[in-house]
Structure 1
Amino acid sequence: MKNFYTILLLLFGISVSMAQTGGIAGKVTDQRNKPLPNVNIALIKTSLGSTTDSNGDFQIQNIAPGKYAVTFSMIGYDSKTISVTVSANTTTTLKAIALSEKQEQLSEVVVKGHQNKYALKAPSQSLRLKTEIAKLPQNIQVISSDLLQDQQVTSIMDGVIRNVSGVTMLEHWGNFARVNMRGFRLPAFRNGFNVQDSWGPLSEDMAFVDRIEFVKGPAGFMMSAGEPGGFYNVVTKQPTAKTIRQVSLMARSFDNYRGTLDLGGKATKDGKLLYRFNAMYQTSDTHRGDEDAERYGFAPALTYRISQKTSVTAELNVQQAESYIGSAYVFAPVDDGYGSLDRDFKFTDTNYPVSDIQEVTFFGTFKHDFNKNWSWETKFGYLRYDQVGNSIWLWSLEDNGDAVRYISNWDALSMGRYFQSYISGSFNTGSINHKILGGFDYSQKEYWADFGQYAIIDIDEPFNIYDPVYGNTVEPSFNKSPEVQYRDNVYNYGSINRSVYLQDEIGFFNDKARLTLAGRYTHLFMNGREATDSKITPRIGLSVDILPTLSVYGLYDQSFIGQSGVSFDGEAFDPVDANDIEGGIKKSFFEGRLKTSLGAYQITKQNVLVTDPENPNFSIQLGEIQSKGIEFDLQGEITPQLNLILNYANTNVEITEDSDRDNIGQRLSGHAKHVTNGWLNYKFSEFSKLKGFGASLGYQYQVDRSTWAWAADNESFLPDYFRLDGALSWSNEKLRVQLNVNNILDEYLYSGSDYGSYLYWQSEPGINGRVTVTYNF
């Protein structure tokens, strides 16, 4: 760390002696003097540019002194170009720029532009970063709301992961998703807060989601609080000045019906109070049948602009969900092999009880802009996840198919409290510019679960998987009082994370080279260990523009996180220490509309948890593992009508240190060595006879796929996975009708694991469809 700070001071000293730069700022309006958000501003013959915010304001900094031509453009408006002279150490404020509406069919042009936004330029505010994604020294992929709409995604478990290289979903219990990347489980973030629990949170419903950001590798700017593989950040729909009035109705296979409502806009004429209200309701069954479940929720949000520089946002999300926890699993003898039972086979009885889940989240944000360069943001969050339910599993299984099943109680309560306060800003020292980010983070989590109560339900006679008879079991009765956190012998996990962070992104050569130097001090308290741990983790990154559309980057980052759970002997686990070394190339085409990235990484992780081969329901801690891989991502538009997602990842995770030397060099479970996905969307142009129609086709392909947990022989593999999906749509400025068909080839698709004495897996449905009608009023 001494060398780290020496480098920082040296670079800061060098920067003082360099020449100075200037900036441009201003406001863009329409002809009625109303602010225009999302206007593109570009300095001709440079790579510099910006977009206007919700108030129509913009600023561009770190411009070398001189004369420039600046263009202002937006779909549906005539472009405008003006000349600007930039002086050193001065921000030139332009008079209001008014753009005129185009006279041709504006509404159709707007719809066309909406469909082409697969590649987003900047990360969300919840990631704290002010630099556009292409110039960051890290691989960050964003799934936009337009892409979610084209794929008709309803939850995080509904194929979202296909849009990012190397991301897989190993399994789910019905209420939450286990998402893996680079060989490790990804923690779930919401609006920048890490809300992951041992068996949670509730799977995210897309009715409330604006975008999903996949951050690869450790991320010191987000508390270093995720697995070293990275994390995914769900960004919810926020209040907006744009008027939104949208209702959507969906009908799917297996008696699934769903409705959503999205409202937003100005609550007052002066625009000081903005609002957003989202709601959803659905009833659903599965391809197995007799699993009727209900889910509904609502999410109001308000933003109050105290002044032009200060705003407050409050957001509430309440969801009620039913889930048949564990019902997706099927068990069979090892000799029978995976998929030996019918895809629709049902292991649970027809009277298997549903679990009730309620999740409440609240987020509050206070933001203040001191000036055009410096801002302060304070955020706090609260999550309460309350579950009353049951889970089913196998007690024993004979070769003739006689199975004895048991149901365990699964009442759970999760509570999380979160706080963040940070300052970001920029300044120049000579020709070198600095983007500063510093702040304090706090999180307090506690999780209780009562799964100690259980009852065998096949007492009089076993349940034979080859000749199943349903309706003979009796629902067990468990003691569900007092509330779960006050019961004896419950599983209890809790942690407190306090940390401070400081980062300087230093721009050289008119911001064509950017060096990131940062450090975080983290102090952890884990109630399972009744002890504290602390560590300083550095972060060093470099991104260089070789061409205006081509950059290369390198990164060294560390993570330090606590681990939940205990071993079979009741011992708590030590925190995870991990580091990530990676580098890559980012290239854009067609004036930035198509973005690509190619990278390679090596993650070294100590104190990793793996399944205990002698006690499969528990974990053990290994010495060290390494994950190495190559990743490629492409997203954006090739032509104004053709959008494309394409990705590939090669992942290899091996044990590098262990007390049992025979384990060294062995592959770790829980990943596919080769993963590639694609999604192609074509929408006919406004000049075509098929104007308004669109078609999509996508695939998911996984090769050399391992199970999520090893059996005792450490040789457990799954067959390759290939799924083909497609969609047809028609839309105008008010109405959209879409048909999606998944698993077009009707493949028997599943994930699962080998437990040594038996196999288990969970299947996906065969060919299935959904029809959605969306109306904007």
Structure 2
Amino acid sequence: MKKQLTILFFLILSTFMFSQGGTVKGIIKDYNNIPLFGVNVSVKNTTKGTQTNETGLFEISNIDNGNYVLAISYLGFKSKEVTLKLNSNETIDFGIITLFEGDEILDEIVVNGNRTNKFSRKETAYVSKLSLKDIENTQVYSTITNELLQSQLVTNFDDALKNAVGVENLWTSTGRGGDGAGYYSLRGFSVQPELVNGLPGLTNGTINPANIERIEVVKGPSATLFGNSVTSYGGLINVVTKKPYVGNGGELSFTSGTYGLNQVTGDFNTALDKENNIYFRLNTSYATEQSFQDAGFRKSFFVAPSLSYKVSNKLSFSFYGEITQAEQTNPTFLFLNRNAPSVATNLEELNYNNKLSFTSNDLSLENPTQNYRIQMDYKLSDTWQSQTLLSKSSTSTKGYYTYLYDYGLLGGNTFSRFLNKQNANTLTTDIQQNFIGDFKISSLRNRVVIGLDYFNATATDNGTGYAFYGNVTPQGGTSGDNPFTPEVETDSYPLSTAGVDSVLESQAVGNSKSKYHIYSVYASNVLNFTQSFSAMVGLRLDRFDNEGSLENPNDDYDQTTFSPKFGLLFQPILNKLSLFANYQNGFKNVAPTLVGDPEAGLQTLKTFDPEQANQLEFGLKTNLFKGRLNTTVSYYDIKVTDRVITDPDSPFNKIQGGEVVSRGFEFEVNANPVNGLNIRGGFSNNYSETTKSDNKNILKRRPLEAGPRNLYNFWANYEFQESKLEGFGLGFGFNGSSDRFAINYLSTGEFILPSYTIANASVFYSADKYTISLKLNNALNKEYYKGWSTINPQNPRTLLANVTYKF
């Protein structure tokens, strides 16, 4: 009996000792039945988890019996949660699990150091307000990734945009009230960065790249989905900020460089609850920088908190904020005369000493900026989602603004300085409600967004008038002779706050406030006739209500506009090669004007339709070798019509007859030919001309805002793999342009800024927890200039050093 009980005891014991937990497995594929590699699969509230292999297969073993939730997430796809009940030794095979494209709050950023083609990140829900891969989107856009910015040690926004094909800086940020951000040429038209995370987010100063996850440069007129207040006919610039991600970690970084550059940045991400449903991220930076010229500085501090709260698998909230305090001297460009020829017609004749700033560090501008965004996402069903968004921004300017202008009244290359005291503020509010669907009608897949949008902007200006404050020559000569008085004055004008304030005392202080509202409804649908052939159709109804100056009821007006969009796309090789064509529209509201001969009686107010810009474009996109080679090739033709001009039959009448054309070719490549080597390159060619106008000064000439005709950029970064040099890396690149017109009018002739090519290089060492980098910008110390009726010298050779610690 004892022997039998002993045997039974050991049998029971061995059953417990050798029994195994349950197992779950399956295969994860996308909508096109393509296996997804590297999908994160985890059992919630346990330490169990894995990633799918190249066939999409996953398997998790030794799971204790009980009730669980299987969480599945992958970059650019909607996350999925599956409930299951598991018994010991049981294997549950889910078969094929399908994931659909889509950005979700907690999955927008996934830390993955082994991702291939780090310079090309094409998943985004902002460009089309739908979750589309780049290769299935009929619109062209460039993505500047955070990895690309880090590899180049980018410390300012202008340098970041050198990586976007066809984008060129026209002038740097001035800090001026209302329009103090930088201006850039894009497909022949000027544009400013006015979108943050797909919503209006204004700035009068520089944008600190330390908080940028990526920059999306969307090409061509884009009013159908974004309206006309934050876009241009050439496209738009959307800054995507860093947001919370699943996990804990962060980094501290310090960058120091030539001309007094010092920048400290911090990035901290953590869960705030035990269930890992609330994540908080904080990015912050403090930076100071001086100028290569005899005066000039910039300093800024920002803090950017963001929060993501996943209430359930259906409901989630997110909050983002950025508070910036910045101060800078505005760059005193040399403004060329726009009405009469200058003495100098090129830089050699100008004999410009570009080491002179013609300003003082006493004369600075403060640019406090705040941007906030709240988002609520709710899954109405498996096929429909509701997205509610609110954004608010406030940007201000306080301080001294100066400019130099060649009036041509004093002879020689003499530029007169004018200045004022700025005190301006702009407030914006944007409310959007989107309904996003992904469903089938019969066998046809539809991805739809239907949206309502309300936008409001209020601008207040309490600055002073402009006062004359002496003259300068490009070689540094000074005089006090006011060109607008008959006397010859010899007054001195010290560049100090006391001297400036004494002159501005006689200037009137403005008291203007203006406001406008935009009410919009839009819809866009991507219809898949087959997996390979799709069409995009979009339409916007836009109601513009301009209150104008609140003191003047006579400048009020409103306009209603339709903005359509259409595109066709065919993939001869699914997910690898696409051919596309698109029609895109943009518009600009036009204020009424008085017409009629004033000597014949009262003039009448004439209203106009909005200006229209229409683009036709076609090209191809590739995504070859498992994503290692992405290219975009396109040709576009933009025609702007209905510009208001003087009636050729009556000088007292205005008609809509002005036209501008802009057409060109663009090529971009992002490649990862071997592990560790990432390449980014691009080339663009643009032809622009004013074809119809009553202004003979600009007729049949290239507009100044079009910038240079040719632009090119290249950057290659290699990190040694699995050798004695593992972790070491090198970077090399260049960017440049053809010559450009600083002035191009019939009355003035031409002033051409020469072409340039700038070389840059870097070296770095990267370990698990830290990275040390050196970067040399403008390695050959090239003297070059940019401008838009201005002459703006660029930085000479600069050396940057960076240390980053990750935790």
The one-letter code sitting in structure 2 at the alignment partner of 1:412 is: A
Change (3 A) 1:306 1:637: same
1:605 and 2:640 are equivalent in the alignment: yes
**1:53-72 matches, cutoff 5 A:** 57-58=79-80
What residue number does 1:117 align with?
A: 118
Given candidates 302, 305, 322, the residue that maps to 1:300 is 305
| Contact 2:117-2:670 at 8 Å conserved across structures | no
SS at match of 1:148: helix
Question: Is the Cα contact below 8 Å between 2:662 and 2:689 reproduced in 1?
Answer: yes
Amino acid at match of 1:193: L
Instruction: Confirm whether residue 540 of structure 1 aligns to residue 570 of structure 2.
Output: no
User: How far 1:133 sits from its partner (Å)?
Assistant: 1.0
Look up the match of 1:139.
140
Distance, in Å, in 1 between the alignment partners of 2:167 and 2:444 is 38
Aligned counterpart, 1:505: 526
Tell me which of 741, 749, 758 is aligned to 1:723.
758
Alignment of 1:553-702 (within 5 A): 553-562=580-589, 575-607=610-642, 623-659=658-694, 664-670=699-705, 671-685=707-721, 687-702=722-737
Q: 2:317 aligns with which of 304, 312, 318?
A: 312
- Is residue 587–residue 613 contact of structure 2 (8 Å, CA) maintained in 1? yes
Paired residue type of 1:640: N
Aligned to 1:774: 804
CA distance in 1, matches of 2:32, 2:257: 57
Q: Please say if 1:52 is aligned against 2:74.
A: yes
Measured after TM superposition, the shift of residue 645 of structure 1 is 0.7
Alignment partner of 1:713 is 2:722: no
Q: 2:557 aligns with which of 531, 555, 568?
A: 531
Return 331-340 or 492-501, whichever deviates more: 331-340
SS in 2 for 1:134: helix
Distance 1:494 1:266 in 2: 41
Give unmatched runs, 5+ long, in structure 2: 1-30, 58-71, 82-92, 101-110, 176-180, 479-491, 549-554, 599-604, 646-654
Q: Deviations over 1:51-90 (max 9, x none)?
A: 626999359xxxxxxxxxxxxxxxxxxxxxx99469xxxx
Q: Against the structure 1 CA distance between its residues 587 and 114, is the aligned structure 2 distance closer, same or farther, given a 3 Å change threshold?
A: closer
Equivalent-residue separation in structure 2 for 1:452 and 1:334 (angstroms) = 32
The letter of the residue matching 1:281 is Y
Note if 1:29 corresponds to 2:42.
yes
Q: Hey, what does 1:375 align to over in structure 2?
A: 385
SS in 2 for 1:536: strand
1:21–1:428 CA contact under 8 A, matched in 2:
no
Mark the CA change 1:609 to 1:739 in structure 2 (over 3 Å): closer, same or farther: farther
Give the deviation of 1:776 after TM superposition: 0.6
Q: Is 2:273 the partner of 1:268?
A: yes
- On the 8 A contact 1:36/1:55 being kept in 2, the answer is no
Give the superposition deviation at 1:39. Answer: 6.6
Alpha-carbon spacing, 1:195–1:466, altered in 2? closer, same or farther (3 Å)? same
2:211 is the alignment partner of 1:211: no
Q: 315-324 vs 218-227, which deviates more?
A: 218-227
User: Is 1:165 matched up with 2:170?
Assistant: no
Match of 2:475 among 436, 459, 466: 466
Task: Specify the code of the residue in structure 2 equivalent to 1:494.
Answer: K
Partner of 2:399: 389
1:288 maps to 2:323:
no
CA-CA distance at 1:160 after TM superposition = 1.6
TM-score of the aligned structures, taking structure 1 as reference length: 0.80
Looking at structure 2, the residues matched to 116 and 92 of structure 1 have their Cα atoms a distance apart, in angstroms, of 22
Preserved contact between residue 281 and residue 295 of structure 1 (Cα < 8 Å): yes
Q: CA RMSD in A?
A: 3.8
* Superposition TM-score, scaled by structure 2 size: 0.77
State the Cα distance separating 1:245 from its structure 2 match: 1.8
Deviation readout 1:334-379 (Å, 9 max, x if unpaired)? 3273264455432424354111110011111111112332211111
Does the aligned pair in 2 maintain the 1:453–1:478 contact within 8 Å?
no
d(CA) in 2 for partners of 1:715 and 1:662?
Answer: 11
Structure 1: any 5+ residue segments left out of the alignment? 1-19, 45-49, 60-81, 94-109, 611-619, 755-759
What is the identity, as a one-letter code, of the residue corresponding to 1:335? A
Counterpart-to-counterpart distance in 1, 2:134 and 2:656: 36
The alpha-carbon distance between structure 1 residues 139 and 636, as it changes in their structure 2 partners (threshold 3 A), is same
CA distance in 1, matches of 2:363, 2:547: 33
**Closer, same or farther: CA 566–235 of 1 in aligned 2, 3 Å:** farther
Q: What is the Cα deviation at residue 701 of structure 1?
A: 1.8
The answer to whether the 8 A contact 2:769-2:806 is kept is: yes
1:63 counterpart residue number:
none
Q: Residue 521 of structure 1 aligns to a residue in which SS?
A: strand
Q: Is the 8 A contact 2:743 2:752 kept in 1?
A: no
1:212 alignment partner AA: I
Which residue of the partner structure matches residue 651 of structure 2? none
Question: Which residue of 346, 350, 365 maps to 1:355?
Answer: 365
Residues 708 and 267 (structure 1 numbering): CA distance in 2 closer, same or farther, change over 3 Å? farther
Q: Secondary structure in 1 aligned to 2:281?
A: strand
Distance 1:172 1:40, change over 3 A: farther
- The residue number in structure 2 matching 1:335 is 344
Partner of 2:500: 476
Which residue pairs with 1:148 in the alignment? 149
C-alpha displacement of 1:456: 2.4
Looking at structure 1, the residues matched to 591 and 325 of structure 2 have their Cα atoms a distance apart, in angstroms, of 26
1:737 aligns with 2:772: yes
C-alpha offsets along residues 307-333 of structure 1, whole Å, 9 cap, x if unaligned?
121111112211000121233548796
Separation (CA, whole Å) in 2 of partners of 1:715 and 1:402: 18
Q: Distance in 2 between matches of 1:283 and 1:547?
A: 50
In structure 2, the residue matched to 1:13 is: none
